[in-house]
Structure 1
Amino acid sequence: MSETLTLPPEILERRARAQAWFESLQQRICAELERLEDEAPEELYPEPASRFDFRPWTRETGVGGGTGAFFAGRLFEKAGIHTSAATARFSPEMAKTMPGADKDPTYVSASISLIVHPRSPRVPTVHMNTRFLSTAESWFGGGADLTPMLDEQRSQEADDARLFHAAMQAACDPFDPEWYGKYKAWCDEYFFLPHRNEPRGIGGIFYDRHNSGDFEKDFAFTRAVGEAFLEVYPKIVRHRMSEPWTDADRAEQLVRRGRYVEFNLLYDRGTMFGLKAGGNITTILSSMPPLVAWPV
């Protein structure tokens, strides 16, 4: 059911700008992944190339919705690049945890969130999301992290890790030379599975409730994170997608995907927020890999 919610025009204008950016980034990322799908060598990926399936959706509470872009292809076994925007109210339980929502639980938000699960065990899984949220206070959040599937690629000194971290640092440094170190450490702490005492992947950056006091600076930083992802991940895919793999590599990949499922269902804030805030269940849970194994 839609509602009429009144918010300051400045906040609505900022949300509109963020929403427009996230939606344009979604289109560019989808186009690039489709190009990679076309480029994949047929000897390793003999199936026909696929295209994204765009599915608009509308919120059942508050005002808003988004577009889910779903993919199941030969190079990318499963991918989802989703945008959303909302004007709504937090539940009393959630309002207690959100800055500025204790007196008025009304909020606006806009976001992009993506997950890519390649078919090849040689190509790392990747996750990225950025978002804008405003109650009586406003902030940005998000980041990007890389998860190689094979143990030989899971070192911080491996080629893919160094390339990915260099891109994230290049996004941070023009705004504040301390942000990369701060947000890298936060990513390492956040994407960790305490029940297994191991990291999910090789990290990247993670930031939340980011508000320097300068909206334009923070919005530009969030755009830079999106641009960095769009530049670096296709480079990694092109470098790895022609490498052959073995049945043992595939088995190792499916076990490592199990760790991904464990994190997303047990610890991921975005999953919990989306489900509690009335988001689209199909897009929220599309982060789950299509095939996974927990060996006995």
Structure 2
Amino acid sequence: MTDAATLEDWNTRARAWFDALRDRICAEFERLEDEAPAELYPGEPGRFELKPWVRAAGGGGVMGFMRGGRFFEKAGVHISLVHGTFTPEMAATMPGADKDPRFTATGISLIAHMRSPRVPAVHMNTRFLATTQSWFGGGADLTPTIDVQRDPKAEDAQAFHAAMKAACDRFDPEWYPKYKARCDEYFFLPHRNEPRGIGGIFYDHHNSGDWERDFAFTQAVGEAFLDVYPRIARHRMHEPWTEADRQEQLVRRGRYVEFNLLYDRGTMFGLKTGGNIESILSSMPPLVAWP
């Protein structure tokens, strides 16, 4: 069991990293707003609004929203540091909580829904959670919203997976195939028998026994995301789209909603631990269609 002073130091360092990563991601997304060609994306470039919130049971965070941008139709980049006591139901699912239901959790969570159907939606989160045990979790996954880009061998998929593999391979060449497989298994809609997107990596309860190494790995995942997704977005931002593309995008967004409300563990964790409803549900697309 980690002593209180060490755990406080770990939480402080992890939260500081998540804060810094949030600032860099928001700045890069705003640059993409500025760069998007006006003939495809008219209007004023969007900007993030940061809004602190307090959790009644302990801790809080800062929501970062860009709504109605010209390139990003909706983007959320949120950070949090919360603490409290798990309910018996939640404690039964968390390592170490059977001995003591108290917990701390800090992390960053990001979702971006793009105005252009040609630019994939993306999700990324990394977190550090501690009970009587501690671990890192998170990952990143890409969701193209038109079928022509949903082939795992397509250009965007290859670039995204190469970035995630490089982040893993710096630490252990066995991590990428393991965490890719977990992502493919996790981001799957059983009721439709189809994947949500083209995957990425997903890890949870990651504790190799070396906190510094695991923290460095989580940082590498964040750096890989910050490098690869803007490259994909810039590559696609000049491509025109049709109304049929837009309708296909809206239908695919419906799959996103179905997954987040039926299967997403982060959504369930936030709702069951008294998190901020606005940030928990910020992953929902602004416009959706079901055929």
Normalising by the smaller structure, the TM-score range is: over 0.9
Counterpart selection for 1:104 from 100, 104, 112: 100
Distance 1:100 1:83 in 2: 24
* Cross-structure match for 1:202: 198
Unaligned runs of 5+ in 1: 1-6
Counterparts of 1:140-155 in structure 2 under 5 Å? 140-155=136-151
Distance 1:106 1:23 in 2: 24
* Cross-structure match for 1:13: 9
* Cross-structure match for 1:67: 62
- Tell me the alpha carbon deviations over residues 123-158 of structure 1, each in whole angstroms, 9 at most, x when there is no partner: 000000000000000000000000001101001110
Distance 1:195 1:100 in 2: 32
- Tell me the alpha carbon deviations over residues 233-264 of structure 1, each in whole angstroms, 9 at most, x when there is no partner: 00000000110000000000000000000000
SS at match of 2:79: strand
Supply the RMSD in Å over aligned alpha carbons. 0.6
- Tell me the alpha carbon deviations over residues 250-279 of structure 1, each in whole angstroms, 9 at most, x when there is no partner: 000000000000000000000000000111
* Cross-structure match for 2:180: 184
TM-score by length of 1: 0.97
Distance 2:205 2:162 in 1: 23
Percent of pairs with identical residues: 72
For the 8 Å contact 1:12–1:108, the answer to whether it is kept is no
Range moving further from structure 2, 95-104 or 190-199: 95-104
Alignment pair present for 1:40 and 2:51: no
Alignment pair present for 1:272 and 2:274: no
SS at match of 2:217: helix
User: CA shift at 1:86, angstroms?
Assistant: 1.1
**Matched residue type, 1:162:** Q
Counterpart selection for 1:89 from 76, 81, 85: 85
TM-score by length of 2: 0.98
User: CA shift at 1:103, angstroms?
Assistant: 1.9
**Matched residue type, 1:70:** F
Give 4+ residue runs of structure 1 displaced > 2 Å after superposition: none
Distance 1:244 1:156 in 2: 22
Alignment pair present for 1:76 and 2:72: yes
* Cross-structure match for 1:4: none
* Cross-structure match for 1:255: 251
Distance 2:4 2:83 in 1: 12
Distance 1:222 1:245 in 2: 36
User: CA shift at 1:93, angstroms?
Assistant: 1.0
Distance 1:259 1:70 in 2: 22
User: CA shift at 1:289, angstroms?
Assistant: 0.1
